[in-house]
Structure 1
Amino acid sequence: MGAQQVRDGFVGLYGAEPEGLWAAPGRVNLIGEHTDYNDGFVMPFALPHVTVAAVSRRTDGLLRLHSADVGGGASAPVELRVDELTPESDRDWTAYPAGVVWALREAGHAVTGADVHLASTVPAGAGLSSSAALEVVVALALNDLFELGLRGWQLARLCQRAENVYVGAPTGIMDQTASACCAEGHALFLDTRDLAQKQIPFDLAAEGMRLLVVDTRVKHAHSDGEYGKRRAGCEKGAALLGVDALRDVPYAKLDAVLGRLGDEEEVRRLVRHVVTEDERVERVVSLLESGDTRAIGPVLTEGHLSLRDDFRISCPELDLVVDTANASGALGARMTGGGFGGSAIVLAEETDVPAITKAIEEAFATAGFTTPRVFEAVPSAGARRLA
């Protein structure tokens, strides 16, 4: 759905023109999975798929929310009172935008209500941060309309708080920061401890390569128990090792550190993944900055094996994508996102894309899996005002 359709939808719902239109993208994480809540390194980039919001201010304390993607857009707007918003009171899609309003108000910002109409092209449940795009677009719109003066990283922090506390999903800071801060043609090297950022040029097309996203169509939900268990296990590991976060465990001393964990086998696996994944992020940054882009392929595959075997968050569909792609000539592949379903990414020579895509589709058909959705991931712009 285009921006004009979102504007027209707003007018049809609320009987007036919106004060503005905003967009925020989904993201693909190139490397650095489950490191963000361990104060580690990540490297996402923004997708061209976006959530668009048409928004106007209200001064009467009423928050009206509507999505063109829910129930075919036929439902009436959901009406809430901004002074009655309570964490974990809502298990519907409205928890995400309402949580943003709650987080802004809790931080002392005078948000007095809004009319909101949304539409998204970010695939939901595919590990591509559809929830972060929803949060960030609402936060950016309210930041502009109420002249709050917040920067992208500050909006990301508030959106993370909305998801952690209001929605009840223990996610890290990567998704919201990627949606708010990524730049077209670049991957974002982000230190999640202090939110230091570096935009790394990432123009695969210029080098004759493509990055495919393979949406397995296996749905996941971050607010379920498995994601939280992994995070709790990482926190336990940091506590047992006497560090503030697993980011503080030196890669060069990993074997010795793991030996200190005794019979805590599950914790040992989690620690090993996080520490080696941080090192993989730094390796990919170094390779990209030196112009050796093709060499990141094996690093991506290393990351998948770690997520599969140590973090144990893959699934048969994701493993099939990675195994089939690599057997068909891909430079590298791995699952991306929180896990337990969602999407994988495949780095390939442009000339090999048709054969790899066909091989994956045929492998899914043979296995009796739902046909995957395959599309090219092009590093795109972060959140912005459209009109």
Structure 2
Amino acid sequence: SMRKFELVSGDMELLRKRVAYFKSIDGQTSDYEKLVQFNQTTSINQYLTHWMYPYKGKFHPQMIRALLNFIKVNEGDLVLDPFMGSGTTILESQILGLNSVGIDVSPVCVLVSKVKTESVAVLDKIKEIKDEILKQNETNLTNFENPENKGIRASVEGIKDEKVRNFFLVAELISHSDESRRGRDFHKSFSNNVEKMLKSVEDFDKAIKEVGLKPGKVRIEKGDSRDIKLKDNSIDGIITSPPYSIALDYVKNDAHALEALGFDTKIIREEFIGVRGTNSNRIVLYNQDIMKSIDEMFRVLKPGKFCVIIIGDASYLGERIKTVDFTLQYAKKLGFKLIKNIDKIIYGLYNVMQKENILIFQK
């Protein structure tokens, strides 16, 4: 299991920088233990910019860090997550000095992941215009759906630097979520989110300097896991989790954000894996899409390298869908060798599923 620890390197300095489940190595505080202190939330696993944007089923950063070590990717290697979601794999790879490519069909996920990983590069620019944006926010109405309430969006869209603009746009989307789900005042929420996000980006900047991080290069794109625009045998490691959209409607979950960005949820629904189709046909389409995605993962992964697929069995129309067995059998048939199958309890999705499996394959 992931709870069995074994030190496989005698390089104490490397271990101190890479470990996920040790507070110290040879009497020296681990980088992970230092990083979790840079946290603007009450949750220990939401350090740096990991917390930004509420996303169901997001990875635990500590687990991803451990898996990156398990699959033996090194500084400068290229990691892929073709179902990027809120960007945990990409951000944790960046922190470890690994280069990464993140792909997702959701424009919300693409935007959020970019902000988590790119904002630190434009920190000074964000700070320069923050006060002006918040001042303009004071004149806005609470209800963002009111046609008169165009002040924040107009102010944000007027920002020329895309990375800076994205930062404030995500603050706006989180505020829409706060208003629609929790009944919070949009105006106050926006100001609070900007301040909290800024502190987290400042934390990231401090961590780079004080911990000595050498962030890896990040490439994030809106794309299709069934048709990955990468060359054959070009990836050093994959960690991903296909969507549980048979049981969890990601489009509905992010409807407020998609609509705020100007997307028609009825149209975009057809692009999402597991959401297309009805009744039994929906399961058939989901399985077909998963097979195509695994095909692409196998194609782009270098021989001898590892692919981690985190997936669980969900229920649909009162019937358990055996996605884990299906994935295992198809991956083996394709040529993947199963190295390890780890059971993992899911927290926060009890109404959808109770556990999932960490499947570690080697090409």
When normalised by structure 1's length, the TM-score is: 0.30
When normalised by structure 2's length, the TM-score is: 0.31
* Larger relative contact order, structure 1 or 2 (CA cutoff 8 Å, min sep 6): 1
